[in-house]
Amino acid sequence: MAGVITELVLATRNLHKGEELTALLSSLGIRVRTLAEFPDAPEVIEDGDTCEANAVKKARTIADVTGLPAVADDTGLEVDALDGRPGVFAARYAGEHVTYEDNWRKLLKELAGVSREGRQARFLTVAALALPGGVVEVAQGTLEGIIAEEPAGTGGFGYDPVFHVPELGKTLAELSAEQKNCISHRAKAFAEIREILLSKSESSGTVRSA
């Protein structure tokens, strides 16, 4: 990657995710844009077998379309009792065009009767940073937890109301945005992306942000 990165595009139309990712990258001194500013950008079909394949495809496509560096991510939820499902299909587990609640209610239904000890799960986020022309760097973050028997909390999005973090004694939806951004799978992946961006800026002679 050559040159100074002064702005980038988040390859998502998910408003909740866009807000979270913007916060994670806000200290870089880089203008962070979303696809809301690029209404003609295509809808990228997430048809990969892995989170990495989907993240790379989205980032590469949006970088080439917008002519700007692009960051994309994909998150899977692996539940041990379900042999790793829903995995990469977490966002559409209950079908196409469903709500967050539809997805986690299906998950709770499938885990009905499973003991707490058997409800181990983890989030996996893969983030990809792409430049126009195809250069891509990839980062990964995970968060271990258990699937709660009942939802709790009103914050976050996705499976947050039913993903319990034992060390904190709370679900992700019970945490503030600041707390979640310190420990989440997505925060870990984007911390690596942040370091990649900083290293590129430093190698180009720009000053590290505080």
Residues carrying an active site annotation: 74
Question: Any known ligand binding at 155?
Answer: no
Question: Any known ligand binding at 74?
Answer: yes
Nearest residue to 168 (alpha-carbon basis) of 160, 179, 159: 179
What token pair was written down for 29?
A: 């001194």
Question: Any known ligand binding at 102?
Answer: no
Question: Any known ligand binding at 103?
Answer: no
Query: Distance (Å, rounded) from C-alpha 164 to C-alpha 146?
Result: 5
**What dihedral angle (degrees, nearest 10) is formed by the CA atoms of 17, 23, 26, 28?**
-80
Cβ atoms of 163 and 145 within 8 Å: the answer is yes
Q: Is the peptide bond before 69 cis (omega within 30 degrees of 0)?
A: no
Question: Any known ligand binding at 93?
Answer: no
Question: Any known ligand binding at 109?
Answer: no
Query: Distance (Å, rounded) from C-alpha 116 to C-alpha 100?
Result: 22
Question: Any known ligand binding at 17?
Answer: yes
Question: Any known ligand binding at 12?
Answer: yes
Question: Any known ligand binding at 159?
Answer: yes
- How many degrees, rounded to 5, is the angle at CA 38 between CA 36 and CA 39? 80
| 3 state DSSP class of 197 | helix
What token pair was written down for 163?
A: 């993903």
- Pick out the residues of the known binding site for Mg(2+): 74
The binding site for substrate comprises 12-17, 75, 157-160, 180, 185-186
